Amino acid sequence: MSALEKLKKLDPIQFRYKENIDPNQSLRAGFSAQQVQEIIPEAVHEVDGVLMLDLNVLRNYLSLAKEELLSKS
């Protein structure tokens, strides 16, 4: 599966962090790490049970997807 196809499988979400993390309760954009882990496992790290998304890996996927789009056009 290409980078572009993998990215298209991700579901972007809006969310708020729980209040103990973000007292301001700002609306944010992102992904569910659990879903990303199923599609791009190398982009997710588990630190003592908490899933973290590696933005550098995602950026690499974006670059590959852009190249793929350019080659198609």
Partner 1 sequence: MALGTWKNPYGAEGGGQPSTGDLRMFGGPPASTSSGSGFGGAFSKNFGSSFLDMWKSGAMGGGGSDDDKGGQAFSPGSVGGGSIAPIGDKGKHFLFQYTHPQAQIIQHGPDGPSFGEQLATTAIGAGISALCDIRTKVDIAPLESTEVNDSLAEIAFFVKGLRECA
Are 46 and 36 contacting, i.e. CB atoms less than 8 angstroms apart?
no
Distances (CA, A) of 64 to 14, 40, 43, 50, 69: 25, 14, 14, 28, 9
Q: Which of positions 24-43 make contact with partner 1 (CB under 8 A)?
A: 24, 26-34, 36
Are 51 and 33 contacting, i.e. CB atoms less than 8 angstroms apart?
yes
C-alpha 65/C-alpha 36 separation (Å) is 16
Q: Smallest distance from the beta carbon of 57 to partner 1, in angstroms?
A: 8
13 binds partner 1 (CB under 8 A): yes
4 binds partner 1 (CB under 8 A): yes
Q: Smallest distance from the beta carbon of 62 to partner 1, in angstroms?
A: 6
Site residues (CB under 8 A) for partner 1?
A: 4, 7-8, 10-18, 20-24, 26-34, 36, 44-45, 47-59, 62, 65
